[in-house]
Amino acid sequence: MTGEAMTASSVTGLLQNVTGTLVLVGAGKMGGAMLDGWLRLGFTRERIVILEPHPSPAIKALTTLGVRLNPPANEIKDVAFIVIAIKPQEAAAVIPALQPLAGSGALAISIMAGKTLAFLERTLGADTAIVRAMPNTPAAIGRGITVGVPNAKVTSNQKTLAHRLLGAIGAVEWVEDEALLDAVTAVSGSGPAYVFLLAESLARAGTAAGLPADLASRLARATVAGSGELLHQSPLDVATLRQNVTSRGGTTAAALDVLMAPAGLDRLMETAIAAATKRSKELAE
């Protein structure tokens, strides 16, 4: 399935026939977004177990629908999936306690930044089938993109199931070489922040050009959001969409001459991505 992209909408309904118990460890922002997606796609509520010490009211409310919250360990049976969505700094304290759940042939999916397959195998058990995944924040609206890397124990059936579960928060891509996750983290994991910065920077530049600050801010936000949606919906490639707004000798061309100069955005972005990739390598364990 390497390179295959599957959108959330294209997997609708595909979770209805998935069997076994799914244990979600950490129902914060990312865990909560995945949970929403699984419920939307028909995962049987009674087969979802949430382990979360401080559940939000929304998570507590799910118990009235049949989802189980913090049940005693001996009541968690037939575990097919353990999805780990806690903060990386909590991993060393929390994950060893999951070993008995993982030991029964379950597939573990971790979305913790920087926690390598080697770390997960050490803490969950060397025989555990594990997918390490890197999502991004548009997951909150089902429009994220997640890149997964399986360890050697993951069967092709488990990979397909992991694809469906991760597909609940957006598109899914696979790589076989775990080392690529540092660059993935730099590009798509951290990427939303660069796009938000673009909106901030565009607004500041608009203000500097004489616009009232609140108008500049609305123009920048709508421009970034609308362009993102156009990019999402259009069959055209990115360069063509850019060229379509650019007439020779016009205003856009004047700005792009600056942004696309040798020391322009490409150079800056390459330096930024290299810095994030380096930091991701430093933080990995």
Ligand X SMILES: NC(=O)c1ccc[n+]([C@@H]2O[C@H](COP(=O)([O-])OP(=O)(O)OC[C@H]3O[C@@H](n4cnc5c(N)ncnc54)[C@H](OP(=O)(O)O)[C@@H]3O)[C@@H](O)[C@H]2O)c1
Q: Walk across the sheet containing 129-134 and list its strands.
A: 68-69, 48-51, 21-25, 79-84, 107-110, 129-134, 144-150, 170-174
Sign of the Cα pseudo-torsion (234, 236, 238, 244, in order): negative
> Among residues 81, 83, 135, 154, which is the contact residue for ligand X, using CB under 6 A?
135
CB-wise, 163 or 216, nearer to ligand X? 163
- If one asks whether residue 29 binds ligand X (CB under 6 A), the answer comes out as yes
Figure out which of the listed residues 87, 160, 179, 244 binds ligand X, where binding follows CB under 6 A: 87
Instruction: Tell whether residue 88 is a contact of ligand X (CB under 6 A).
Output: yes
Helices within 85-139 (DSSP H only): 91-94, 99-102, 117-124
**Shortest distance in whole angstroms from residue 26 CB to ligand X:** 3
Q: Which amino acid is at 24?
A: L
Q: Is the Cβ–Cβ distance between 91 and 116 less than 8 Å?
A: no
Residue type, 50: I
Stretch that binds ligand X, among 52-60, 149-157, 168-176, 224-232 (CB under 6 A): 52-60
State which of residues 8, 107, 108, 134 lies at the interface with ligand X (CB under 6 A).
134
DSSP characters over 208-246: HTT--HHHHHHHHHHHHHHHHHHHHH-SS-HHHHHHHT-
Segment interacting with ligand X (CB under 6 A) among 10-18, 25-33, 253-261, 262-270? 25-33
* 62 lies in the site for ligand X, by CB under 6 A: no
Q: Binding residue for ligand X (CB under 6 A) from 11, 14, 22, 26?
A: 26
CB of 205 to ligand X, least distance (A): 26
Beta strand pairing call for 68-69 and 144-150: unpaired
Q: What residues line the site for ligand X (CB under 6 A)?
A: 25-31, 51-54, 85-88, 90, 94, 111-113, 134-137, 189
